[in-house]
Structures are given as C-alpha cells and as structure tokens.
Amino acid sequence: MTAPPATLAAVIFGWGDAYRIGYARDQWAAWRRDTYRLLTASTLTGLEQAIEADYQHRPVPRDYDPPGAAAYLSLAALFPVHPAIPDPITIDCTRCGQAFVCDATSPAARDQTCIPCDLGLPPGSVSADV
C-alpha cells in the first residue's frame, strides 16, 4: 500500500521545528535550523523523504535555540501562540522575483525572500543536496 501524498501542512507540522520549509524556483527546499544545510527535491513527497533520511542520519536538536532566541522566548508568556498550523501562502521573492510557498508565520514570509536567496545563491543554482 502506498502512502498518501504529503501536504505542506503535514510536512510543516512534522518537521517545522527542525527545518525551515519552502518552495522556490520549481524546487521544494528544507533548511536545517541547526547547521543551515539545504535539502531540495522536485516534489513535496520527495522533500519529506529527504528530510526523513537526513534526520535519521543526523537528528536535528528539537530544542535548538538560535542566537537571540532567549530574549524572544521570554516574551512568549505575554503573547501566547495559537497552536493551529498556519495556512500556506504564496509570496514573490523580493530579491529574485520567483514565487514561493511558505507558512504565514515563517521568517521567509516576514522577509519575503526564498530560501536560495536567503542563502545568497544565484538564481538557478539550487541543486539536490541529500
């Protein structure tokens, strides 16, 4: 029996605390939150499989706090976060102009830049790194 195709909401729910997930330049991408290693795939199901393989090989700490997070987390009691998974949105990258998909609460939505541009990669240079 084959598994149902992955949905963006399901991938973000399962892996969003360990990977930043998005879509740009006809590629799905996941960026590890601890080492910033980039994983890419042409399908969301392929990306989920790449994430699972990467995580099995080298798990991402789920309690990883990036620099500056302590100050942000101290505000959490004042501003409780709704536990629902945000709906995916499509944004045009302000750097390369390509449309990409992310959740409305992600840094990509705030910065309006796709993951490859965030990493400083030139347009069209994204390749599989599994």
Q: What is the pLDDT of residues 32-41, one digit of tens each?
A: 888 888 999 9
pLDDT at 128: 41
- Reply yes or no on whether the pLDDT at 22 is more than 80: yes
- The answer to whether the beta carbons of residues 34 and 19 sit under 8 Å apart is no
Residue 113 pLDDT level (bands cut at 50, 70, 90): confident
Query: Considering the entire predicted model, what is its pTM?
Result: 0.49
How many helices (H) and strands (E) the chain has is answered by 5, 5
